A and B are shown apart, each in its own frame.
Chain A
Amino acid sequence: MLPKNILLVDDESEFLETMARRLRRRSYEVKTALDCAAALAEVQAGWPDAVVLDVMLGDADGIECLCLVKRVAPRLPVIMLTGHASLQSSILGMEQGASNYCLKPIDIEDLIERIIIACKEAGD
């Protein structure tokens, strides 16, 4: 399945808006959430085809948020995106069901490719 609706979750509003603009310019529907609660609301409503989730959020650890998202929607592809990664945190993210774990700054085309691959893997 090719993704159409992408939910971006990050506590940095500037980064969020830049990414959203870039994705919209490539014809994706984008919603943004500044914290885990707002993200969960969208996931519960069944809106996103994929989630791009920052590892550090205002109201929760990104990994905790990942677990909550996965509890609501186990097959929903979630790509973790972080500014300060350790290998251990990437393994933790993968163990909790992330489809991929990437580092900022990321090229937008690269991110889209990873979203598409994650959705394809989830749909197989």
Chain B
Amino acid sequence: MFGWIVDLFRRRGRRHDDRIQSAFQTHFKNFRALLTANNNALEGMARAEAMLRSGRPFGMTFVRGELTALTVNVYKMIQSLTVLSEGRYRGLNDSFAAVTHRIEAILSRQPEVKGRVFTYSIDEIERSLINQVGGKMANLGEMRNLLGIRVPDGFAVTAAAAKHFMEVSHTQIEINRLLQTLDLDDLTALYSVSSEIQELIRATSFPDDLERAIRAQTHELIERQGKNDFKVALRSSALGEDSDVSSFAGQYRSRLRIGLDDILPVYRDILAGKYQSQAIVYHQQRGFRHQDVIMCVGCIVMVDAHVSGVVYTRPPADAGAGHLLIHAALGLGDQIVDGVAAYDMLEVEREPPHAICCRKEAQPGRGPCLAETQVRELAELSLRIEAHFGGPQDIEWAIDASGDLYILQARPLDTAPVPVTEAQAPAGAVDAQLLVEGGVTASQGVAVGPVFKVNCALDVLEFPKGAVLVVETPWPEWAVLISRAAGVISDTGQSATHLATVAREFGVPALFDGGDASARLENGQIVTLCADSRRVYAGRVEALLTRASTRRSLMVGSPIYGLLKEALIHVTPLHLTEPDSPFFKPANCRTLHDITRFCHEKALHEMFNFGRRHGARDKSAKQLYVADSPSQWWVVNLKDGYREGVDAAAQFIRIEDIVSEPMRVIWGGMTAIPWEGPPPISVRGLGAIIAQSAMNPQLDPAVRSNLGDRNYFLVSKKYCNLSVRLGYHFALAEANFSELLNESYVSFQFQGGAADERRRRRRVGLLAEMLKELGFRVDRKADALVARIEKRPIPYLHERLLALGYLIIHTRQVDMVMDEEGFIERFRAKIRADIRTIQENAARTAAEQLHAA
């Protein structure tokens, strides 16, 4: 009878143990899933922040992709914590919903289209209508109506009209679908999608009301002209085009000499021009969503041009020079901006009487295109326009047979800094073989790369990133390659071409009018292009490369940049820093980062308390016993992390009883060299800590903070997760040693400190530097960093984890002295020497053990 009862209790005890074991396995699984999602989320945040800082172009695919991945990971964390805590933190779902709604509202925001009017006569247009008719038409209207400048008659078709056209036809949905999945590195796909979209728009029928409005404007124009046999030009005037920030030069379509009967189909063709391949690439490079570019169209009467051209009120490649630059050609000026016409080039003084300081004639025997009086008139008018719009201008003009001067376009000119002359260039440049000399500096700078000649669209598809683009004529279509090219060399053209404007905008060095350069250069040959001195050298000329230009950041200030920046306000800031603070609760999670921080902290807490809560003594946290006294470190055994036979009921555990390989390694690093204690703090440093404490109540030492409770290892034989709160910073190290390379990693996160932000940043900077030296991939932002090594063999990870243990202990509290003279240099040297010593000692010990075995 008695035996039966004992047996029953034993069976019940076993069932109880099995249940706990199974519950613990579920706990552990969720904990690991939470940590993985946490790492992914933090890395995603770091990537998004890094992209903002990098200045590299990115599109909505990146923004949506990263933010969706972040949302998914944070969702997974909440789910895991819900299981771990048995639903204790329900408020998290509300915070999560609120945060993601705020982000979605930003991402799906559409540009506002002002007004409901479809057309305006040019006589009604001033700059104030810029949001309805686009920059090009607004400027023309302003010059005609406010400055009394001769601008051809015409009308504008507005942004509201373009929006109406696309909405009524429902083509926008299909266009968005085609663009969303387009990989812009795949140029074949780019061309195919571009033509598919354009066909779609060309095949769209006109809404009746829009057709009526355009026909009415055309009729009024006929009445004003008093005839109906004239031709018009239809020109793109996109919203945002010709702004100070982006030129959009040559990206869109303009069609000249159009008969009045063809205005409607050509209007549609110009709308389609928004999706030309070079425009799609340009949008992406400049950070525009397609919906941010709304295509207004100008319809103006053609000037029967006798001579025409372009004026730069400052030379674009040399803004410091005090002269105007005039390009003039016989006939219509479109050939100048396309780079095909033979033209006269004049440098004209800005001061009256605007003397011509330099004249280069296209055909010297033929005589100049412009008489001196015309040059003077053009110079005066151009400077008036410059003064009115308040900055250097790029002006298109035409003079008709009766000698009347018309202005066809005025837009802000992107000017480059003062060039470096050859005389200033290092002497080394002279030694290299000179391949091409002469021409014009279309865009300043020095570039090196293999020559790649492009003659047709097929060549474009083969163009390798980083090559020097060599062409005979600088057609606007080649702009699709500008962001991939190291530099551009063209046989013809000058600084007024669209391609030159785009090259300047992207900071790509360009040499135009280089004679027979394309014949002299061989495909694949490495050349150094010095656009400033108008020379091309064979090979890589290091001496010149010291002056190589850095690419300009084209994203800052763009719509997509603004969107990501605004969205990240709800993602990356961390408001919940101190778990002991009463502020640390779900309702106070204002960002995705707050939620990850909350989930992580509470998940640790759940793992820590599992044993106590379930009456499972072997799963309870034990205090690490070091040098015969209890330490501030606690250990939770997840699975097989302790030596067999360890007393499950014991309150303490000794390091010798721990068989977790990663924990023993990191502990080795932490204890290899005794910490000398906090560095002596100067009065200034101490003042900063007091000031920080005053500003951040969560740092107030008077608030109870069980710092000692907060340092713990979660271990199994091949896994270790260490979270540390030493002083005011928070660090998390995790390591998994697996025979499968894919599953092996060491990761590290660090944030905070007690000193002011500048010093905290410096400490993180130093940590980042050391971790990079050790081979970690490091992302840092302000006073936080995330570092990771993965897919490496175990001995490699051993060495890094050892060093990481050392860094965790020895970089504490040094933020306070980061400002002191020479400290960083001394400290960096000490760290390097110490790590070397530790790694050498470890290697020696391993060798001795191997020998003994």
Contacts and interface: CB of A to CB of B under 8 A. Distances in A.
A122 to B, nearest CB: 11
Interface in B772-814: none
Contacts of B75: 90-91, 94
Contact of A104 (B67, B108, B180): B180
A105 B67 contact: no
B336 to A, nearest CB: 40
Contacts of A87: 67-68, 71, 100, 103-104, 107
Interface string A74-94: 000000000111111011001
Interface in B495-523: none
B177 interface: yes
Given A86-B104, A91-B100, A105 B182 contact: yes
Interface in A1-52: 15
Contacts of A90: 68, 71-72, 75
A86 B64 CA distance: 8
Nearest to A15: B181
A86 B103 CA distance: 10
A95 to B, nearest CB: 8
Given A90-B75, A105-B182, A121-B33, 4 more contacts: A87-B71, A91-B75, A103-B65, A104-B180
Contacts of A94: 72, 75-76, 79
B69 A83 contact: no
B177 A100 contact: no
Given A91-B100, A101-B72, A105-B182, A85 B64 contact: yes
Nearest to B66: A103
Interface bin, chain B = 20 to 34
B183 interface: yes
B61 A103 contact: yes
Interface in B39-82: 61, 64-65, 67-69, 71-72, 75-76, 79
Interface residues of A, number: 18
Contact of A86 (B61, B72, B76, B108): B108
Given A104-B180, A105-B183, A121-B33, A88 B104 contact: yes
Interface in A60-85: 83-85
B643 to A, nearest CB: 26
B176 interface: yes
B29 A124 contact: yes
Interface in B14-56: 29, 33
Contacts of A105: 61, 181-183
B193 to A, nearest CB: 12
A83 B180 contact: yes
A101 B68 contact: yes
Nearest to A95: B75
Contacts of B71: 87, 90-91
Contacts of A83: 177, 180-181
Most A CB atoms within 10 A — which of B29, B33, B64, B67?
A: B64
Most A CB atoms within 10 A — which of B29, B68, B101, B181?
A: B68
B388 to A, nearest CB: 44
A15 B29 CA distance: 35
A102 interface: yes
Contacts of B72: 90, 94, 100-101
A84 B104 contact: no
A33 B189 CA distance: 24
Given A87-B103, A87-B104, A102 B68 contact: yes
A104 B68 contact: no
30 contacts: A15-B181, A83-B180, A84-B176, A84-B180, A85-B64, A85-B68, A86-B104, A86-B108, A87-B67, A87-B68, A87-B71, A87-B100, A87-B103, A87-B104, A88-B100, A88-B101, A88-B104, A90-B68, A90-B71, A91-B100, A94-B75, A100-B72, A102-B65, A102-B68, A103-B68, A103-B180, A104-B181, A105-B181, A105-B183, A121-B33
B243 to A, nearest CB: 29
Interface in A88-119: 88, 90-91, 94, 100-105
A84 to B, nearest CB: 6
A121 B35 CA distance: 13
Nearest to A93: B72
Interface in B117-143: none
B745 to A, nearest CB: 14
Query: Can you list the 10 inter-chain pairs with the closest CB atoms, starting with the nearest?
Result: A104-B181, A103-B65, A83-B180, A87-B104, A87-B100, A105-B183, A94-B75, A83-B181, A87-B71, A90-B68
Nearest to A103: B65
Nearest to B70: A87
Contacts of B65: 102-103
Contacts of B33: 121
Contacts of B61: 103, 105
Contacts of B103: 87
A67 B408 CA distance: 60
Most B CB atoms within 10 A — which of A87, A94, A103, A104?
A: A87
Nearest to B180: A83
B181 A102 contact: no
B441 to A, nearest CB: 39
A119 to B, nearest CB: 13
A104 B177 CA distance: 10
Contacts of B76: 94
Contacts of B176: 84
A101 B29 CA distance: 21
A13 B794 CA distance: 44
Nearest to B102: A87
Nearest to B100: A87
